[in-house]
Structure 1
């Protein structure tokens, strides 16, 4: 047991990232049933869809699970009310000021974790009263920090400044990676990409198959003028780069992005025109497995890594 497993009442210090278009109730409940903490990704769900997923998750697992809420969405108040009404006990917030919701959620008996990309925001989250922070490095998929701090540098810097539990994210998909993050000072790890490549992930099979074929350098952090996001290099990504080459304004970039681009790519399987978000560590992964197999692999390798002496 450590600070995170006690905080969430889970067996393993492994948290599944609440990714848009990947993290439905099937993924969240499978991770929780396997001994980690599953998260439903509210960012790609209308409020009524989120309620349905929470209710189905409660039927699919008797273990703790949570909801990830990006606070930049316009219907966040309705989402938070559904979370409270449905009795969800763990909320991960991101993309916003932790002061906005932390005290309110904690008054309702909810454990609150905030996702940050810098020491400055980790300290602000701690001051806001969160129970833990996720420090996410530049390697991560999806929306990312502008600072481009890598996980290797971010985790020890955040650890040095905060006293609350620390969860490492970004570029972690194996037991050895988990061990390394803990050596750097993390109490647990959050994995997105590794769980996106599972049979229980709600993303399209086309997307999953593409992930299994990615290599080193096949993703890139872009669109910093809007919201930094790590994308697979496909036609849509190339369209963005062409716009930059022509001196695109923020409005131009918004026009290229359009609407529902991430849904088109990850959920509907359009690998050409879709926005395909994933972490750099996808280049290491070649197999789509069940969640149970993934968690077993991670914990087995983690234990072996701890038991193996370092040779000099």
Structure 2
């Protein structure tokens, strides 16, 4: 299955395991890369030296390409970038910030750079900044998201129409059928997050993994747009946010409610009441926790089966 994405990253399948905070440590990244897709370590939840440890362990666990996802809204960004260079990581996905800030710096050091966007406007800005590819993420996705609530089905063809660099689809993709659908719409590959949260190798707490498996349609909602839009499982913390919104809160009041380490409390420590539980809408189609190798095998098998149906349509 060779195309622009497999060639760009030197991988077997055009699939990227998303770098998600508190879910994507070295175990998930290395297990993903070992299947022939691109594994990503999520640096957003790591202090610089913790990231270094994860990179070093990932190198020992796989001889395949892997990368690091760096949300640029977090502190210690210079330290994180320095460690990525020192540890000779060759692929970086940036998000939640201006791609011009780091793209040239990284590319001048021999690193392939991909930027995550939620609109055509930002896809064009990323291309102008010199990135090697973009991830266009629809608002179905979990975690930090776009304010415009543009769906993946709409976003992918609109971005494809405007850019020349490789395009990776994200948001609401957990199956081979969804992978094929987005590639028919113009994507060269897909980035998958939520499905890999519910894997044996994910660093998410087992209680959070079970919540993902139990989730049904309508159990998630995009909120906190005034800070950074995030899709959450509806729990007590989510209900507290909605109660605060009834009072037309200031940004400062929203920040006070969010506090510190709320995502760690929910996804990593398993506090299902007060924690921030980030997951995509596709959780309603995730029914089990299983090894990464089995997840990838199922996606590729379904992708090939779906291709076989197309002539009959």
Which whole-Å deviations, capped at 9, do the CAs of 1:219-263 have from their partners, x for residues lacking one?
Answer: 000001111100000000000000001222111111111110000
* Aligned residue in 1 for 2:156: 155
Aligned-CA RMSD value:
0.7
Work out the CA distance in 2 between the residues paired with 1:230 and 1:309.
Answer: 33
Work out the CA distance in 2 between the residues paired with 1:193 and 1:74.
Answer: 25
Q: CA deviation at 1:310?
A: 5.3
1:262 is the counterpart of 2:263: yes
**SS of the residue aligned with 1:108?**
coil
1:187 is the counterpart of 2:176: no
Which whole-Å deviations, capped at 9, do the CAs of 1:94-153 have from their partners, x for residues lacking one?
Answer: 011101111111111100000000000000000000000000000000000001100000
Work out the CA distance in 2 between the residues paired with 1:254 and 1:76.
Answer: 21
Q: Which deviates further from its counterpart, 159-168 or 300-309?
A: 300-309
* Aligned residue in 2 for 1:118: 119
Give the aligned length: 312
* Aligned residue in 2 for 1:5: 6
Work out the CA distance in 1 between the residues paired with 2:4 and 2:310.
Answer: 25
* Aligned residue in 2 for 1:278: 279
Work out the CA distance in 2 between the residues paired with 1:220 and 1:17.
Answer: 20
Work out the CA distance in 2 between the residues paired with 1:246 and 1:163.
Answer: 45
**SS of the residue aligned with 1:296?**
helix
* Aligned residue in 2 for 1:246: 247
Moved over 4 A (4+): none
* Aligned residue in 2 for 1:168: 169
Q: CA deviation at 1:309?
A: 3.2
**SS of the residue aligned with 1:51?**
helix
* Aligned residue in 2 for 1:237: 238
TM-score between the two structures when normalised by the length of structure 1: 0.99
Work out the CA distance in 2 between the residues paired with 1:239 and 1:16.
Answer: 32
Equivalent runs, 1:1-312 vs 2, <5 Å? 1-309=2-310, 311=312
Work out the CA distance in 1 between the residues paired with 2:169 and 2:239.
Answer: 31
Work out the CA distance in 2 between the residues paired with 1:172 and 1:136.
Answer: 10
Work out the CA distance in 1 between the residues paired with 2:287 and 2:295.
Answer: 12
Work out the CA distance in 2 between the residues paired with 1:10 and 1:20.
Answer: 23
Work out the CA distance in 2 between the residues paired with 1:274 and 1:137.
Answer: 24
Work out the CA distance in 1 between the residues paired with 2:259 and 2:98.
Answer: 26
Work out the CA distance in 1 between the residues paired with 2:221 and 2:211.
Answer: 15
Q: CA deviation at 1:72?
A: 1.1
Q: CA deviation at 1:74?
A: 1.6
Q: CA deviation at 1:170?
A: 0.1
Work out the CA distance in 1 between the residues paired with 2:310 and 2:188.
Answer: 21
Q: Which runs of 5+ in 1 are unaligned?
A: none
Which whole-Å deviations, capped at 9, do the CAs of 1:163-212 have from their partners, x for residues lacking one?
Answer: 00000000000000000000000000000000011000001000001100
Work out the CA distance in 2 between the residues paired with 1:98 and 1:279.
Answer: 24
TM-score between the two structures when normalised by the length of structure 2: 0.99
Work out the CA distance in 2 between the residues paired with 1:99 and 1:245.
Answer: 38
